[in-house]
Amino acid sequence: MSEGTILSDRYRVLRKLGEGGMAEVLLVEDALEGREVALKLLKPGEAASRDYFMHEFRLLSRLPHSNLVEVYDFGTATYAGGSTMGVVAPEPSGEDEGSNPDLRCYYTCEYLRGQDLFEATASLDFEGLYSIVHQVLEALSFIHDRGLVHYDVKPENLNVLTIPAERPGQREQHLVKLVDFGLTGTATTQRGAKIKGTVHYVAPEVAKSLPSDRRADLYSLGITLYYCATRKLPYDGGSAFSIIRKHIERIPVPPTELRADVPEAWAGFILRLIEKEPKDRYASAPEALADLSRRLGKPYQAQTSGRGGPLSPALVGRTEELNQIVDLLPRDPLAESRVVWIEGEEGIGKTRLVRELKVRAQLAGVPFLHASCVREGEQPFVRIIRHAQTLPVGRDLADEFAPALVTLFPGVLEHSAEPFPIRDVEGLRAVIDQAVEFLIRLAQAQPFTLVLEDVRRANEVTVSVLAMFLRAMIGEQARGGDLPCLVILTDRLGQVSAETTALTEGIPEEFQAEISEDLSEVRVLLSAARLLVSVPLFRLGKMGTAELIGSMLGLSDPPPLLAAKIHSAAGGNPLFVEE
């Protein structure tokens, strides 16, 4: 992939970062978000690996932790040998994949600027290694507590960013990220499971297709640390079979015999990790960390959360609402119009629900055009339209409606366009009609989901465009048709457009006031047309609060007294529970 290549009309390739068996990783500039990100792109002809790819993105989107890589967006694209890769939606079936070898999917994640663990430890002392291992074990504890096993812990999957000391006499710091969750799954309880992992690091029970659990990850970590400490692998050979056989049968050479300066405490810790029998290893990552700290004479207190505080909370108590909305996603041109109004008090979890909806929509191949209404700053439709331009027909439509779009939303297009002069209210309404026609034509060509959070904060122009688009959906249905579009709005319970924000520059204030729309009236019309789906969010019960606390503390069963006390103080509001 050459430098400067544009992917999905959004990502400009800066350089290649690496390559694996099924995917290549690129450093790209995200034009929509204005930041550099890593883009993992499935290789041509690797359609059979698509499920692993989607599995990895889905898992990581639900595992927020400071020592795990953060993922952003998922998409499906084609590459025909030119300079542009465009999104293809809806997501194709397996048959389509076989007939179109150029079909590729990708996801974006944070760009990690560090080195792999083997490189990062080339000149690192064992004091610095302790900080790194501490973070790795916290990351493993986090995923293990969720019933998962990574199955591919190795130096290449541990990224270490070295942070220079701020002042003389201070030690440099390290930030570790565990990556590559393509093989991650639940513990196995039956024989005959498929062998997972990399042969140099695979646990004996995994190699023998025996039941395996989190202790398999601890074995792989032990092999990794043996390699980093001695700079030699304990088991090597000319074939995968010979290496696996050594894992199963051969006793490793003690690390101190390969490198005299390896402290006995570290050697004993590593050898305990790589015991042949799972029962002879540490039972868990916290137990391993506690023992290492004891061996090194370091104070240790069991960590039940991510570094620096509680973890990001899981989505709790919203399964029914989530599934209800996912079923409404417009997956094809024959999809029905729907407007979902998510309501609830501040902190009840509206944004968290929208974030999970985004993951579900992207994995289903449904474009997710999402923006928040804020009192100051960029208007929400600026972001919506910019995102729409990354769709196959979006850029051409934006060019066709450019004068109207730049009149209402200055700076929304990359190129300059002459705005319409607004001399009266009718002229403003005509421009709004053009913007609404842009959204209608876009939906007809490419079904999408449009999300506006906190609609009460939208300004007059935003509300007018939104209201006219909703009226268009009603009108289309009255004519016996449907716009294949799902609109999702969030607001506080019982409040519609109760606040005002900055007005649109370049349009006389009195004209904006005269186009004011009442979303409450539009809502009544949507309900009468049976297009409205109301989704109220209520406070969590005691069990929901306990589950939320457990997700933040990394505990499957938080202390009942603690859960009861927090529930009483927070009243079941997720935000108050988190605080």
Q: What are the tens digits of pLDDT across the range 204-255?
A: 999 999 999 999 999 999 999 999 999 999 999 989 999 999 999 999 999 9
φ/ψ (deg, to 5) at 76: -120, 135
Please report, rounded to a whole number, the percentage of residues in the chain having pLDDT higher than 90.
59
Residue 516 pLDDT exceeds 70? no
Each residue's pLDDT tens digit, 388-421: 999 989 999 999 999 999 998 988 887 778 888 8
Cα–Cα distance measured from residue 513 to residue 461, given in angstroms and rounded to the nearest whole number: 9
Cα–Cα distance measured from residue 223 to residue 228, given in angstroms and rounded to the nearest whole number: 9
Paired with 177 in beta bridges are 159
Each residue's pLDDT tens digit, 483-509: 999 999 999 875 554 444 445 555 656
Residue 357 pLDDT exceeds 70? yes
* Residues 6 or more apart whose Cβ sits within 8 Å of residue 489: 339, 340, 341, 342, 451, 452, 453, 455, 466
Higher-scoring residue by pLDDT: 551, 364: 364
Determine contact, residues 41/103, Cβ cutoff 8 Å: no
Cα–Cα distance measured from residue 190 to residue 209, given in angstroms and rounded to the nearest whole number: 8
Q: Quickly list H helices, 314-446.
A: 319-326, 350-363, 380-388, 394-400, 402-408, 425-445
Question: What is the CA 350 to chain-centroid distance, rounded?
Answer: 17
Mean pLDDT, residues 465-482 taken together: 92
The amino acid at residue 180 is: D
3-class SS of residue 430: helix
- Would strands 71-79 and 103-109 be described as parallel, antiparallel, or unpaired? antiparallel
Please report, rounded to a whole number, the percentage of residues in the chain having pLDDT higher than 70.
87
Higher-scoring residue by pLDDT: 555, 327: 327
Any idea what the Cα angle at residue 370 is, between residues 367 and 375, rounded to 5°?
Answer: 165
Residue 573 pLDDT exceeds 90? no
* Residues 6 or more apart whose Cβ sits within 8 Å of residue 475: none
Predicted pLDDT of residue 513: 55
How is 126-143 classified by DSSP, letter by letter? Answer: HHHHHHHHHHHHHHHHHH
Nearest in space to 160 (alpha carbons), one of 181, 144, 175: 175
Q: Quickly list H helices, 535-573.
A: 542-553, 560-570
